[in-house]
């Protein structure tokens, strides 16, 4: 529901990183959306693309990767993952689990090109 403001927060991070790298252009950014992060990947991608298109690097690629929920069963110690919200442990069938991953929304990486190089020189 607040994907636009999340996208703006991500974008502020990108701009801050780019500010510290003069003479560089943004080529791509990769964002990881955990299944348990509460953010909707599609709306987030839409909002990010809008921000990119209005920026000084309008051709930068927006890459989104979803991350499954990682769980650890407190009863039997089994580590497992789920792409859905079925939290049952495949080991013992129990539900008492700890979420160990898939809760974050993070700016994983960005790709930049130095202005004095052409993209073809790679």
Partner 1 sequence: MRRRIRLEKKVVSANDRLAKQLAERFRAAGILAVNLMSSPGAGKTSLLEETSRRLGGELRLAAVEGDLATERDAERLRRAGMAARQINTGRGCHLSAAQVAEALDAFDSPGRPLNLDSLDILFIENVGNLVCPAQFDLGERQRVVIASTPEGDDKPVKYPVVFHTADCVVLNKMDLLEATLFSRGVFRQHVRELAPKARILELSCRTGEGLEAWLDWLREERAEAKKGGVPP
Residues near partner 1, by CB under 8 A: 1-2, 5-6, 9-10, 13, 17, 27-28, 36-39, 85, 87-88, 94-96, 99, 104-114, 117, 119, 121-122
CA–CA gap between residue 43 and residue 22 (Å, rounded): 31
Q: Which is nearer to partner 1, 55 or 103 (CB)?
A: 103
To partner 1, the closest distance from the beta carbon of 13 in angstroms equals 5
To partner 1, the closest distance from the beta carbon of 103 in angstroms equals 8
Q: Which is nearer to partner 1, 21 or 53 (CB)?
A: 21
Task: Residue 70: name the closest of 21, 32, 26 by CA.
Answer: 32
Quick one: 102 exposed, middle or buried, by C-beta within 10 A (0-12, 13-18, 19+)? buried
CA–CA gap between residue 3 and residue 40 (Å, rounded): 7
To partner 1, the closest distance from the beta carbon of 53 in angstroms equals 20
To partner 1, the closest distance from the beta carbon of 18 in angstroms equals 10
Q: Which is nearer to partner 1, 36 or 41 (CB)?
A: 36
Q: Which is nearer to partner 1, 53 or 96 (CB)?
A: 96
């Amino acid at each position: 529901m607040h994907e636009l403001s999340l996208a703006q927060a991500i974008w502020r991070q990108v701009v801050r990183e780019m500010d510290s790298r003069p003479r560089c252009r943004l080529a791509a950014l990769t964002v990881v959306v955990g299944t348990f992060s509460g953010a909707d990947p599609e709306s987030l991608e839409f909002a990010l693309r809008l921000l990119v298109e209005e920026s000084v690097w309008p051709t930068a690629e927006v890459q989104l990767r979803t991350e499954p929920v990682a769980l650890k069963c407190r009863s039997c110690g089994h580590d497992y993952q789920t792409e859905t919200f079925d939290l049952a442990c495949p080991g013992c069938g129990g539900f008492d689990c700890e979420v160990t991953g898939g809760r974050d929304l993070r700016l994983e990486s960005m790709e930049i090109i130095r202005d004095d190089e052409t993209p073809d020189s790679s």
